[in-house]
Every structure is written in C-alpha cells, then in structure tokens.
A and B are shown apart, each in its own frame.
Chain A
C-alpha cells in the first residue's frame, strides 16, 4: 500500500479514536456541573451520588481524550506537512487559540475539579467544574471552526500557492460553522444522555433499585428525549447548507446518480460506482426532493455531474458516504423512539399509598426497555463516527475544499514506516477502547454492589492520609 493511503487510514484511525472521548467530556462536564448545582440547591444525596459516579467516568474519558489529542497535534507534522505549509496561515492561529484559550483552562482546572473538593472553598470547586466544562466547549468551538473552514473556506486569498488570511470574521464564521458546531455539540449531549441512561439501566438490571440510579436513568432518558428532536432539525438544516456548498457530497449521501426533479428518498440500496447505478433500491417517492428542497418536485444534484469529459471523478467514493449517512440517521431514529417511549412510560400515573396520583418515574420502565437502553449505551459513538465519516469522506478528494487536495499534503515518509506506526497505534487503540468500555461497566457494577474494596473508594490512597491543611 502507498504512503498516501496508509497515512489516510492512520489519520482516520487516530481522529476516530480521539473523537470518542471529547464527545463524552464536552457534554459530561456540563452534566456534572448540573449535578453539583442540584446538590448544592437541594442537599439531596442522590445528586451527590450521581456526581461521584460520573466524575470518575469523566476523569477516565478526559485522560483518554488528552493522550489521543496529543497524538493528533503531532500528526499534522509527521504525516501532513503540506497541510500546514499551504493553509498554515489560517489553521495555525485557530489551533493556537485552541491551545491558549481552551486546553490550558481545562487541564489546569481539572486537577482542582477532580481532587480539590475538600481543599478549596465550595464556590471555587464549582467554578473549577464550570471552567472545565467551558474549556472543553471552547476547544470544540475552535477545532470545529477549523474543520468547517476546511469544508467551506472563506476569508482568504491564495498568493504563490499559499493561503493568506484576509478576513478573520469570515474565516471563523464560515458558512458551515454554525451548523456543524450545533450538530456536534448536540451529538455530544446525545452521546452522554444515552451513556448515562445505558449504564443506569445496567445497574437497575443487576438489582440496584436505589433512588440515585433511578434518578440518573430519568435524567439520561429525558436529556435524550429533549435533544434528539433538536438534533434532527439541526441535521436537516446542516444538510441544506451542505447542498448549497458541497453538492457532490449530498449527491453521494442520497445515492443519486442523475440530476433530476422529484427524486425519491432511498431507504436502502447498494450503490455500484463502477456501473454508476444502484442495486436493490427501497425508496420513498419524492422523498429526497421533499427533504432537500422542501418541494415535491425540487431538483436534487446527481453524481454524474461531477465527472469530467475525460472521465476524471470529482466526487467522493459513494458507498461509505451513503451507508454512513444511513447509519447516523438510523441511529438517530432509534434514539427518538426509545427516549420518547421511555418518557411516556415514566409519565404514566399510579396511585400512591396516600391515594394521590403520581408519575411512575423510572419504575415505569420495564425490563425489555432497560435492555434496550443497555444496548444503546454507546449508540452516540456510532452515530457520531458515522456522521464524521460522511462529512470527511464526502469532502474527498479535497482536503480543503477547492484549495488543497489530500494527495498534495501527504508527507514523503517511507510507506513501511507508516505501516509500522499504524499497526502500533491500532493495537494500542483497540486494547484501550475495549478496556475503557469494560471499566465503565466494572465501575457501574462496583457502585451498585457497594463493594467497598480497599484502595477503591479512596482511590490512590494507601499511604497514611495527612489531614488537609
């Protein structure tokens, strides 16, 4: 295999591994702040329990995010030097601002947030929690600005093949940024909602019926039910924006070969790029036109428009974009179904001992639905990865749309070298991802069974505890 392909696989593997953890930390930081504020306000231990459990998950996810992120920042130099040499004048300041305004903030206050509870005044601890959550969101902001700019570049001019910034406001608020940022932040919220619901359902299934766990299940399910309609709406608007700026990508997402009016929405098909047609189509008539133009006979771009006279193909590979899009939307629909069904179950009334009618709450959720939540624990990861694959593969062959092609940015490192590092990274990532998932369930089981194992409830103790100053 050649260096270009290997480097692409390596970059894709690294960023896919990395994004798993920011997706969790971005929203979980805010959820922890919410738990803490509820505890401060009500003094109810169930909020404290929730905080204690989820802060561990946060710490673990954060560490994974940090170490994989450091790998990311070296990748630009080791594998894609052409990227910085060409668009460094735009990408550089954005990355620098991310480090300066986000990474230091979150990394420094993380220590106080995690270990400062009994060392600093309560308000400072709350502030630290806020700053960490704020920092992760800022970091998402800057990196999404850069990524959106790569999809819809604006505010620049090209002099001697090098991009120079002309208008920073236009660069930052480039056309796709608001959509992409909203969609990503909501994705993070949904990932966390289903993670919380899934682990809580798991704890209920192994017999933990405590107030705290039921409360967490409720928080997770409600959060999911609230966010998913917004996400579907945001996704639809995102798609319209893409139609305007990257029609080839939309054609691939829809699997539409010929530009036409009244195009059906394909629920399933097997796109065949060689024959330039689909096999085994299952479709809703006029669907695609309706969704993309909001008119039954609206015009939808076709892939054949993006082939030059000489037969050079200027659209992305169809299959991964097409399937990726369906996996994401399918997962979104499953989220909608499950979370709304759960809310409906929780809202059912029963008669309490004193004769009043009260909501059943998490008790209203039966075992089958608990199993469904456990199955959906990592559904956010699935949809997020699928979404990013659609976006990024859909941009190919461009690295920066219309400015720089991926093949022109790659480093001339011998392919054997890239292959060896790729294998090493993949091995490490596979082991760590599996361990991470196992440890989450292990933590959940331990929290429920209440095993107060030595060394565990007081993590990292073992030496004599010297009282705080």
Chain B
C-alpha cells in the first residue's frame, strides 16, 4: 500500500477525481436528454415522438452516471454525503420526483390508452423541468456553502434558471445533430436563445464564487495562480464566439457540421466544470470540509478503486457501442 506514498493522501484525491468525472459525464449526457425534455412543449405534436426516439435508447444509461456519482460521494466521503444531502433535503426530493415523472412518461405515453397521452407528455416536460431547476438550485446553494440566506437563495434561483437554459442548450445541440430539415432549423434557433442563458450563468457564477469565499478570491486573483486559471475564461470566451458564429451558419446545405454545436457544448461544460473544481479543491463543502477530513477508510477505498479501474473502461466501451448502434438521424423506435 505504500507503493505510491501514503494512501490517506492520494486516495481522497483519486476519488474526488472519479466523482468529479462521473458528475461531469452525468451533466453532459443526462444534460442533453433533460434538455430535450425541457424543449418538449416547443415541438409540434407530430414531432414529439421522434424527439423522444432520439433519446429513448440512452436516457436510462445516462441517469446511471448520477447513481455512480452519488454512490462515490456516499462511499468515499460519507460525512460530506450526509452533510450535503441533508442540507439539500427538499430540492433533492423535488429532483427525485421530477426524475420519476419523466422516466415513467417514456413508457406510459405510448403504452397507456391514447386519451392519457397528453397527460404523460406533460408529465415528461414537467418532470424534466423540475429536475433541471432543482439541480441548478442545488448547485447554487452548494456554491454558497450550503447555507440558506436571502442572498444565497436568490443566487440559487438564478443558477436554477441558468442551468435549465444550459441543459436546453445542449439538448438543442443534440437535436441539431439528430434531426433534419425544418425541425433542425428550429433547433438551431432554440440553441441560439439558450446560449444567452449559458453566458449569463457562467458570468454569474464567476462573479459570485470569489465574493462568497475569500479563499477562492485569493486563489483566482493572486499572482502565479492567476496564470493557471487565466486560460479557462479565455477559452470559454473564444468557444462561445465560435459557437455563436456557427449557429448563424447552421445547418449547412450538406449538413456536414451538425455535430459541431454538441461537441462545442461538451467542451464548454467541461471547461466550466474545471473552473468550479479548481476553485473548490480541496474542499467538498466550500471552506468547511476538505476531502481528507471526509474520506472513508483507505482499505475500503482501495477495494472500490480496483473494481472501478477494471470496470470503467468496459463501461465506456459498451457505452460507445450503444451510441454507435443508434448513430445517425433519429428514427422511429420499434421493439422489433
């Protein structure tokens, strides 16, 4: 166990990294299918089925990354897990009910009698919206150090709106890739509008985080660290400009660039995520609890790490297989 130095030091870092990775993958993957749910009412009646068909084979596996992330938090940092989840008790419950409502709607809207269909369509939209709003709200409260004050709640309401728009953005980017013709053109327009929300959100978080925490401000604006962080906002800015131009040009006549907004959205989410992770490290609860204080016993973490290193590549492998099988423009889904 001493091969790489003291496991009590590096194990928490490794697990914080694994957890961060699965949160990031979750936000990207479930982000696009939640986004499609948020955009659902904007689609015309005859487009709704194909919209669902574009995410039907994926949503379940996408959600599993949330289970993994929460599982890693739970197993690697049990104290933080308790502290965070009890502080976020109500928004978590709202998110869970949202996830239930939208998850079952995939099935009920086509299997229940036709008269109920509008109800389940609405449940798909409302459930998705409840999920995105509560996740954004939790992000806000989390950044504010898990405290409920008038300012922190106001900020959380803002992040709730912005994260919803960010999901709508990556959702419409997915639709640009998966849809054709008129529907694709409208998806481009949705993406343009949602991009504005993304910019506001990124700005708000960047302004508020250093204000909440003197430590973060120090980390951001003191000298050598500044150089480390500086590329992040610059890259974000450049990417947003590029995206803006691309969205004005899309769809191209030969539809060659339909993947670009989605790819750019992934990069953007990743950059934003690294910004947050950089500011938070080494804390799991900002300025209160570090990953070292919260970690479980090394011998249990080693067991999990062993399994994770072995299984994660396999999971990535068959995830790629699934996306390959259902590549290309969305088609109606049938069971046979």
Contacts and interface: CB of A to CB of B under 8 A. Distances in A.
Same complex = yes
Interface of A: 51-52, 55-56, 59-60, 62-64, 66-71, 73-74, 76-78, 81-82, 84-85, 88-93, 95-97, 99-101, 103-105, 107-112, 114-120, 162, 164-165, 168, 411-413, 417, 420-421, 424-425, 428, 432, 435, 438-439, 442-443, 453, 455-456, 458-463, 465-466, 468-469
B90 A421 contact: yes
B311 interface: yes
A453 B114 contact: yes
Contacts of A465: 331-332
A458 B334 contact: yes
A89 B297 contact: yes
Contacts of B47: 462-463
Contact of B57 (A81, A115, A412): A115
A63 B112 CA distance: 14
Interface string B80-103: 011111101110110011011101
B275 interface: no
Contacts of A117: 334-336
9 contacts: A66-B63, A78-B86, A81-B85, A85-B82, A119-B325, A421-B90, A453-B114, A459-B335, A460-B52
Contacts of A120: 325
B162 interface: no
Interchain residue pairs A-B with the least CB separation, the first 5: A81-B82, A92-B75, A111-B57, A77-B85, A461-B332
A460 B106 CA distance: 9
A93 to B, nearest CB: 5
A279 to B, nearest CB: 42
A92 B322 CA distance: 29
**Which of A90, A105, A111, A468 has the most C-beta atoms of chain B within 10 angstroms of its own C-beta?**
A111
A465 B297 CA distance: 54
Q: Is the interface of B mostly helix, strand, loop or mixed?
A: helix
Interface residues of B, number: 77
B107 to A, nearest CB: 5
Contacts of B332: 458, 460-463, 465
Given A99-B64, A100-B68, A88 B108 contact: no
Contacts of A435: 108, 112
Contacts of B89: 78, 411, 413, 417, 421
Nearest to A115: B333
Nearest to B109: A460
Contacts of B112: 435, 438-439, 442
A469 B93 CA distance: 42
B245 interface: no
Report whether over half of chain A's contact residues are helix, strand or loop; otherwise say mixed.
helix
B67 A88 contact: no
A381 B104 CA distance: 20
A379 to B, nearest CB: 23
Interface stretch (B217-225, B226-234, B302-310): B302-310
Contact of A70 (B75, B78, B81, B96): B96
A420 B93 CA distance: 10
Given A91-B75, A411-B82, 11 more contacts: A60-B108, A85-B78, A85-B79, A92-B78, A97-B307, A101-B311, A112-B57, A120-B325, A421-B89, A421-B90, A465-B331
A399 to B, nearest CB: 15
A54 to B, nearest CB: 10
A84 B49 contact: no
B308 A413 contact: no
B60 interface: yes
B71 interface: yes
Contacts of B72: 96
A253 to B, nearest CB: 33
B326 A459 contact: no
A71 B100 contact: yes
A63 B104 contact: yes
Contacts of A118: 334, 336
B110 interface: yes
Contact of B100 (A59, A67, A109, A453): A67
A465 B328 CA distance: 13
A56 B112 CA distance: 11
A310 B331 CA distance: 71
Contacts of A67: 99-100, 103-104
